[in-house]
Homo-oligomer: A and B are copies of this chain.
């Protein structure tokens, strides 16, 4: 999949802008704060209907305006053309058209156009709390498995219910008996939804870990061994995931009652990452944490490519900033093996030797110069 062109209207710091794009690679040059990342964000919004960083639509509109519009012409590997138009009007009217046809819900669109964003904030995946690693898995899986997204939403819905009941037990111990009966009713469904989420994640990590390992090995010139493991909070050897989850829930119920919330399940699981056998988060250097993030993102791209039968577009924002020249060189080689690539950078010198098929753009205060 690749974009042939995109247009922005009143999006972030752009009044209007239209770009004709190279199907292979596009580089956005510019000093800090000119709007390079905003272009990548626009592409991301066109692919999945919302900002990659969870920005609200009202924050995305250019200051002083009351709507934004994004449009793009994309082509699938098969040659099929897609005309995409995303509109947002204050306070909260959002619409998406594909080939002129209004889409019922923006969320329905997720997974049709796959995208991987590699950004400076990614460092949280390897150095931050488990929530960032869960989010990494959730996004990859949501783009490829609609059943995953449903299970995750169902799980979250029951989790909220379950936590509300636990909270009530804590506050009104006199009602404990009735409330415990309510928990019993929910827990079977809860364990089922949770098991589906975990099963998907185990499969994904199996794939992602292998790929990330390969990528990291390549980028680090064979000096570093990256391993990832997803470990559910209960043993899954002897019984089904749902049964094991249900049994453990029952066992830990008193603990949950004391705490007033659900203390185990996929909403608390972690993806453990090691480098050369040591915990990456504790012992990794900044460059190693960064390299591992990028390896995980490339693995995500491979995952999407394997599921959708075509490469996602890749949005690379200041990817090479903290890396040494050897890693930068290896990565640049790698990225060229994928589909359409977009690179935003404040450092022109790093891309002096980019392929001739790449298009370059100079960004200056929301204006694009060829």
Residues of B within 8 A of A223 (CB): 33
Taken together as a complex, chains A and B put the C-alpha atoms of A168 and B33 apart, in Å, by: 50
Which one of A71-79, A245-253, A316-324 is at the interface? A316-324
Q: Is the CB of B32 within 8 A of A288?
A: yes
Of the listed residues A59, A63, A224, A346, the one surrounded by the most CB atoms of chain B closer than 10 A to its CB is A346
Q: Is A130 an interface residue (CB 8 A)?
A: no
Count the copies: 2
Q: Which residues 14-68 of A have a CB within 8 angstroms of B?
A: 30-38, 55, 59, 63
Q: How far is the CB of A178 from chain B (nearest CB, A)?
A: 18
- By beta carbon, the residue of chain B nearest A289 is B120
Given contact pairs A63-B278, A286-B120, A347 touches B318 in the complex (Cβ within 8 A):
no
Residues of B within 8 A of A323 (CB): 32, 346
Q: Is A267 an interface residue (CB 8 A)?
A: no
Q: Is A101 an interface residue (CB 8 A)?
A: no
Q: How far is the CB of A365 from chain B (nearest CB, A)?
A: 9
Q: Is the CB of A287 within 8 A of B33?
A: yes
Q: Which residues 300-323 of A have a CB within 8 angstroms of B?
A: 317-318, 321-323
Residues of B within 8 A of A325 (CB): 31, 346-347
Given contacts A32-B285, A121-B123, 20 further A-B contacts (CB under 8 A): A30-B324, A31-B325, A31-B327, A32-B287, A32-B288, A32-B322, A33-B224, A33-B284, A33-B285, A33-B287, A33-B288, A38-B285, A55-B282, A63-B278, A119-B286, A120-B322, A121-B127, A286-B317, A318-B321, A324-B347
